[in-house]
Amino acid sequence: MDSSVTGAGAVSLILADSRFPGGGHVHSGGLEEAVERGLIRDSADLRPFLAGRLRAAGELAAVFAAAAAHAAARGVTPRHWAVLDGELDARTPSAAQREASRAQGRGTARAAKAAWPSPVLRELLAETPRPHHPVILGAITGLSGGRPVDAASAAAYLAVSGPASAAVRLLGLDPLAVNGIVANLSHALDAVAARGAAVAGHDPRDLPAPGAPALDLLAEAHVRHHKEEVRLFAS
């Protein structure tokens, strides 16, 4: 479907907006734990964190958002959603990161039921009541006529925009400087989205599985500390 005709590109703008009521604002994507450890103190430290996060967690999210958009557009059996969700599960070894992804997926699904009700969305949620965030984000994009690359782009952007705004809140960084860092990642964001879109139609078992060992460790430690002391963010 040509999104310039349908206007479906706007859907990924809504999904990637920080004001979208999907619950994304309570997650820092490991940034809060990195700040607590003194690994990130200023804008100069933030840049490599975001670049690394994009290439690992962002890439994985982009791949599955694109695959879900492709699946929604071509039409799949309800079972396919469980397979896609399970394959993303197997690529997310950190239980804390799985929970963070599903919490945002649940929030997104709640908003989607009100905004974009459809039989396919109902099927997806019947198979996976707490879907992974990239899967539901991609499905909504695809159902609205958006392309896999639109979904991948939104997922990749969210992988860095949330932690970036968390850095502003936690460290009191200059919002203009932080925005500049995100803007500098534009080409990298486009490359990640393009790679995700390139494999969108593949068998879910064969999709890439980029890992991020440090993010996994930060996520697990964050959950442990969250239970012992006050933290601003859920992840």
Partner 1 sequence: MKATAELEAEFDPATGRTVLRRLRSMAPLTLLPQRTAGDVALVHLVNSATAPLGGDELALHVRVGPGAHLRLSGVAATLALPGQRGGVSAMAVHAEVAADGRFEHLPEPTVVTARARHHALLTAELDTGASLRTREVLVLGRDGERPGDLTTAMHVTRGETAVLRQELTIGDALLDASPAYLAGRRVLGTEVLVGGDADTVAPASGQWWSLTPLPTGGGLATVLAEDAVTAERELAEAVRHAG
Nearest Cα neighbor of 65 from 188, 180, 189 is: 189
Inter-axis angle of helices 133-143 and 148-171, nearest 10: 130
Q: Is 177 among the residues that bind partner 1 (CB under 8 A)?
A: no
Residue 209: how many CB atoms within 10 A of its CB? Answer: 13
Q: How far is the CB of 90 from partner 1 (least distance, A)?
A: 4
Q: Which of 23, 171, 221, 231 binds partner 1 (CB under 8 A)?
A: 221
Q: Is 185 among the residues that bind partner 1 (CB under 8 A)?
A: no
Q: Is 216 among the residues that bind partner 1 (CB under 8 A)?
A: yes
Q: Is 57 among the residues that bind partner 1 (CB under 8 A)?
A: yes
Q: Which of 181, 215, 233, 235 binds partner 1 (CB under 8 A)?
A: 215
Instruction: Tell me the CB-side half-sphere exposure of residue 217, using CA atoms within 13 A.
Output: 5
Q: Is 214 among the residues that bind partner 1 (CB under 8 A)?
A: yes
| One-letter amino acid of 139 | A
Q: Is 44 among the residues that bind partner 1 (CB under 8 A)?
A: no
Q: Which stretch binds partner 1 (CB under 8 A): 11-19, 105-113, 144-152, 215-223?
A: 215-223
Nearest Cα neighbor of 33 from 185, 224, 177 is: 224
CA 106 vs CA 24, 96, 190, 222, 227: distances in Å = 11, 15, 27, 21, 22
Q: Among residue numbers 97 through 156, which ones bind partner 1 (CB under 8 A)?
A: 98
Residue 187: how many CB atoms within 10 A of its CB? Answer: 8
* Beta-carbon contacts of residue 166 (< 8 Å; ≥ 6 apart): 27, 28, 29, 31, 32, 232, 233
Tokens at 127, concatenated: 């198979």
The one-character DSSP state at 75 is -
Q: Which of 14, 23, 43, 86 binds partner 1 (CB under 8 A)?
A: 86
Nearest Cα neighbor of 75 from 170, 187, 180, 201 is: 201
Q: How far is the CB of 191 from partner 1 (least distance, A)?
A: 13
Q: How far is the CB of 16 from partner 1 (least distance, A)?
A: 20
Q: Among residue numbers 87 through 106, which ones bind partner 1 (CB under 8 A)?
A: 87, 89-96, 98
Q: How far is the CB of 204 from partner 1 (least distance, A)?
A: 9
Q: Is 51 among the residues that bind partner 1 (CB under 8 A)?
A: yes
Interface residues with partner 1 (CB under 8 A)?
Answer: 30, 34, 37, 39-40, 45, 48-53, 55-57, 86-87, 89-96, 98, 205, 208-218, 220-221, 223-224
